[in-house]
A and B are shown apart, each in its own frame.
Chain A
């Protein structure tokens, strides 16, 4: 390890697979957990495959700990089996014919350790993950949470420089997911190198990642802290994921004219140019008559087109200028006797609006 960037991952690469092109440029520091968020088909799996050496890059390069592991210009390509990476697959891919201990010992064995030494190394990892009692079981006899831990232990037993996790919790049921998530967080914090975590669960990203990359159609469309991405989503996809209404528009002083029609008065007096406006569904008030004598700056009529009962509230789908999703309590729905087709008035305070500059689309 030399220099301040020891262990750093630097990627500037294009990967073509048929019609699909992944074009990304980013870096991840040692000890940093980078969450990769994106819809299906965004290129998340392609990115992990390229980093793991399962797919070569078409152009550009991948540098890990100062060493190029894939460089289309010089032709350098380090095969998956020689790359210092640990890969936790979405479906874990534990070898069904090997015991838990042999699964974890697989990498030490493959890297040349003797049978006994590999077993000993595996035993230490199993101990650390609280899996010792399952050592002789076959993967088929494990619960989802246990299998997830074995997969992580197996990846870490390879002593990787870079750790890749592909939706590590998606195969778990909601109950165990929370426990495993907390535990995973501890293990990821203890990992010395950079860690890339693919997910499409914003909460998971929020809890586990230090930084988020949002990948859409093969490109990074947003990069930032989880909190920032959740508060100021750059795209429709992220806004839906974090449950915000998102509008693009043009700011001119203290008013934003929305692209889809309608406008908002915003708290800032000097906002200019192309902006995004994010509105929380719970920040909007619904009434049957036009609000009068109110301090609320933004009021507009809308028609109820749908009602969906969520866990503890009702989500109203409202058509107007602009259209919006609003969360109200079931009691409010009853009091106002709201039905699909009803005309209502909406109100949202200017201070509830999150207004930020829109980056020119890549």
Chain B
């Protein structure tokens, strides 16, 4: 009956839209208005500050500002401490990830929870905790001081430790996930070919999870580079010694806003490079799934 048809909602489809829908094999992709408006607010909220940073940047004096300030030494300190922290995380975090993924022992779940706690812990709390343990009067620190004359707080070592504390869990959970989902068949095959468990780990397991290992390391490095709370609490902010880029930005904002913007731009650039290097892993999988 024709009367029923006319009651049905109708839209006009342009030829282009018909082609598009035919190609995708799907119906309308238009976003409902109640979702579109808040989505746009979110986009503006996330992008606008970055735009502001670019707009307000003292482009003309950028180089001279960066040369003249403590920026270079802060950047150098940030880069090497983040790199050392990542190296330490790889050296001790990957074995821990293996133990968590492959081991079977009582308290495993509790251990996993403890290990990943720094992910959700406010970094300042981590800094306080580190200070209580490794400070001059701390649980471990007093003996380091007494026996070796070693004082950790407010030194570059403290920066590395604070960064490692906060960033390593990112590496651990990434690698642990990869180890869990890795095909154990290859490891079995390696065992039947006479490889010891360590050889299997070195020559089969690690190469197979290399993409996740790389992603975890980059994530860990980026987190270490941006570390602020734990570092300033445990290591302080001595220019050239413990003042990392984020801390330098924070103090520059009080005295020299242009320098703060310039330093922020450098960190933004580093972040973009990190994101681009991870695009295969996150941006594409996000689009695909």
CB of A158 closer than 8 Å to a CB of B: yes
Give which listed residue, A54, A96, A98, A111, contacts B192 with CB less than 8 A. A54
Question: What is the chain B residue whose CB lies nearest that of A85?
Answer: B192
- Interface membership of chain B positions 161-193, coded 1 if the CB is closer than 8 angstroms to chain A and 0 otherwise: 000000000000000000000000110111111
Using Cβ atoms and an 8 Å threshold, which residues of chain A touch B188?
54, 80, 89, 93
Contact A110 B186 (CB under 8 A): no
Using Cβ atoms and an 8 Å threshold, which residues of chain B touch A107?
193-195
C-alpha gap A53/B185 in the complex (Å): 14
CB distance from B202 to the nearest CB of A (A): 10
Using Cβ atoms and an 8 Å threshold, which residues of chain B touch A93?
185-186, 188-189
The answer to whether A110 and B195 touch (CB under 8 A), given A95-B204, A96-B208, A97-B208, is yes
- Interface membership of chain A positions 93-105, coded 1 if the CB is closer than 8 angstroms to chain B and 0 otherwise: 1011110000000
C-alpha gap A93/B207 in the complex (Å): 15
Give which listed residue, B185, B190, B208, B210, contacts A106 with CB less than 8 A. B190
Using Cβ atoms and an 8 Å threshold, which residues of chain B touch A154?
193
C-alpha gap A106/B192 in the complex (Å): 11
Using Cβ atoms and an 8 Å threshold, which residues of chain B touch A86?
192
Give which listed residue, A80, A98, A111, contacts B191 with CB less than 8 A. A80
C-alpha gap A154/B192 in the complex (Å): 11
- Interface size range on B against A: 10 to 19
Using Cβ atoms and an 8 Å threshold, which residues of chain B touch A80?
188, 191-192
Question: What is the chain B residue whose CB lies nearest that of A112?
Answer: B194
Contact B192 A110 (CB under 8 A): no
Question: What is the chain A residue whose CB lies nearest that of B204?
Answer: A95
CB of A247 closer than 8 Å to a CB of B: no
The answer to whether A106 and B207 touch (CB under 8 A), given A54-B188, A95-B186, is no
- Interface size range on A against B: 20 to 34
Using Cβ atoms and an 8 Å threshold, which residues of chain A touch B279?
none
CB of B108 closer than 8 Å to a CB of A: no
Using Cβ atoms and an 8 Å threshold, which residues of chain A touch B210?
97
The answer to whether A110 and B199 touch (CB under 8 A), given A81-B194, A85-B192, A158-B193, is yes
Secondary structure dominating the interface of B: helix
CB of A52 closer than 8 Å to a CB of B: yes
CB distance from B200 to the nearest CB of A (A): 8
Using Cβ atoms and an 8 Å threshold, which residues of chain B touch A91?
185
- Interface membership of chain A positions 303-341, coded 1 if the CB is closer than 8 angstroms to chain B and 0 otherwise: 000000000000000000000000000000000000000
CB distance from A157 to the nearest CB of B (A): 8
Using Cβ atoms and an 8 Å threshold, which residues of chain A touch B190?
95, 106, 110
Question: What is the chain A residue whose CB lies nearest that of B193?
Answer: A107
Mark out the residues of chain B between 178 and 236 whose CB falls within 8 Å of any chain A CB in the assembled complex: 185-186, 188-197, 199, 203-204, 207-208, 210
C-alpha gap A101/B189 in the complex (Å): 16
C-alpha gap A80/B188 in the complex (Å): 8
Question: What is the chain A residue whose CB lies nearest that of B191?
Answer: A80
Mark out the residues of chain A between 249 and 279 whose CB falls within 8 Å of any chain B CB in the assembled complex: none
Question: What is the chain A residue whose CB lies nearest that of B183?
Answer: A93
CB of A82 closer than 8 Å to a CB of B: yes
Using Cβ atoms and an 8 Å threshold, which residues of chain A touch B197?
81
Contact A81 B195 (CB under 8 A): yes
CB distance from B195 to the nearest CB of A (A): 4
CB distance from B183 to the nearest CB of A (A): 8
CB distance from A206 to the nearest CB of B (A): 27
Contact A89 B185 (CB under 8 A): yes
C-alpha gap A52/B207 in the complex (Å): 24
Using Cβ atoms and an 8 Å threshold, which residues of chain A touch B192?
52-54, 80-81, 83, 85-87, 155, 158
CB distance from B285 to the nearest CB of A (A): 19
CB distance from B238 to the nearest CB of A (A): 45
Contact A54 B191 (CB under 8 A): yes
Question: What is the chain A residue whose CB lies nearest that of B192?
Answer: A87
Interface contacts beyond A80-B188, A93-B185, A155-B192: sample of 4 additional A-B pairs, CB < 8 Å, sorted by A: A80-B191, A81-B193, A81-B194, A107-B195
26 inter-chain pairs at a CB distance below 8 angstroms, sorted by A residue, are A52-B192, A53-B191, A54-B188, A54-B191, A80-B192, A81-B192, A81-B193, A81-B194, A81-B197, A82-B194, A85-B192, A89-B185, A93-B186, A93-B188, A95-B207, A95-B208, A96-B208, A97-B207, A98-B207, A106-B193, A106-B195, A110-B195, A111-B194, A154-B193, A158-B192, A158-B193
Residues in A lying within 8 Å of B, measured CB to CB: 52-54, 79-83, 85-87, 89, 91, 93, 95-98, 106-107, 110-111, 154-155, 158
